């Protein structure tokens, strides 16, 4: 196994002028990931993190580079943790297959995605004045939240409540089932 290197998430790029000075947060796409209890927003994070979006995208690059690098490295985690995964087909509208989270309302029409990903972010990191909260959902968790992604399904589970979002459109799922029957 090759040596691991640690790269801080605070690394910068030339076009990170949209970042707030105090934007210390971490991201991960490791599945499963456990987040602490608290108030969160679930959906396409670009709708609620506009002022931090450049920083978030930069951190996605570091996170994905860490997984795909010839020399694997760990990304140092600083501040509150956000979790994300890319959807199976990119942008679109994705439906909740199950929602038993207390006092959490699934958005009318489903979860709208324009950044090709769905994630969960501590509510305090959202842009309260400019955020579009209607494209996702706000949930308060009394217990830890286990976030996972497998076979196109996003799972957010805490205590007795769970949210499952399907990111595989029914047409694609039908094609995949037909192909599986052929093999």
Q: What is the pLDDT of residue 160?
A: 85
Tens place of pLDDT per residue across the chain (183 aa): 333 333 333 333 333 333 333 357 777 778 888 999 999 999 998 888 888 788 888 877 777 765 665 554 445 556 678 889 989 888 999 999 999 998 898 998 899 999 999 999 999 888 877 778 888 999 999 999 999 999 899 999 999 899 999 998 765 666 767 788 887
Give dist(CA 183, CA 168) in Å, integer. 21
Run of H or E residues at 62: helix 53-68
Q: What is the pLDDT of residue 150?
A: 92
Q: What is the pLDDT of residue 118?
A: 94
Q: What is the pLDDT of residue 180?
A: 82
pTM of the model: 0.74
Give the domain ranges of the chain.
26-182
Strands (E), 9-166: 26-28, 33-35, 38-43, 73-76, 81-86, 92-99, 111-113, 117-122, 137-141, 145-150, 153-158, 161-166
> Exposed/middle/buried for 57, CB within 10 Å: 0-12, 13-18, 19+?
middle
Q: Encoding tokens for residue 145?
A: 């939240």
Q: Which residues of 148-176 are buried (b: 16+ CB within 10 A; e: fewer)?
A: bbeebbbbbbbeebbbebbbbbeeeeeee
Computed from CA positions of residues 4, 8, 12, 18, in that sequence, does the dihedral angle turn out positive or negative? positive
Q: What is the pLDDT of residue 71?
A: 53
Give dist(CA 114, CA 30) in Å, integer. 22
Q: What is the pLDDT of residue 154?
A: 95
Q: What is the pLDDT of residue 171?
A: 59
Give dist(CA 73, CA 134) in Å, integer. 37
Q: What is the pLDDT of residue 66?
A: 59
Q: Encoding tokens for residue 168?
A: 């595989």
Q: What is the pLDDT of residue 17?
A: 31
Overall size of the chain counted in residues: 183
DSSP 120: E
């Amino acid at each position: 196994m090759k040596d691991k290197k640690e790269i801080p998430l605070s690394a910068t790029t030339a076009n990170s002028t949209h970042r707030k000075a105090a934007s210390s947060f971490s991201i991960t796409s490791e599945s499963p990931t456990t987040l602490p209890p608290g108030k969160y927003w679930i959906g396409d994070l670009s709708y609620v993190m506009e002022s931090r979006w450049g920083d978030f995208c930069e951190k996605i690059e570091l996170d994905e580079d860490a997984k795909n690098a010839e020399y694997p490295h760990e990304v140092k985690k600083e501040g509150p943790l956000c979790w994300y995964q890319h959807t199976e087909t990119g942008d679109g509208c994705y439906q909740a297959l199950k929602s038993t989270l207390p006092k959490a309302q699934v958005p009318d029409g489903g979860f709208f995605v324009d950044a090709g990903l769905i994630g969960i972010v501590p509510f305090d990191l959202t842009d309260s004045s400019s955020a579009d909260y209607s494209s996702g959902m706000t949930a308060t968790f009394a217990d830890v939240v286990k976030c996972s992604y497998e076979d196109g399904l996003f799972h957010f589970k805490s205590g007795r409540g769970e949210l499952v979002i399907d990111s595989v459109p029914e047409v694609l799922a039908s094609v995949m089932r037909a192909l599986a029957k052929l093999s």
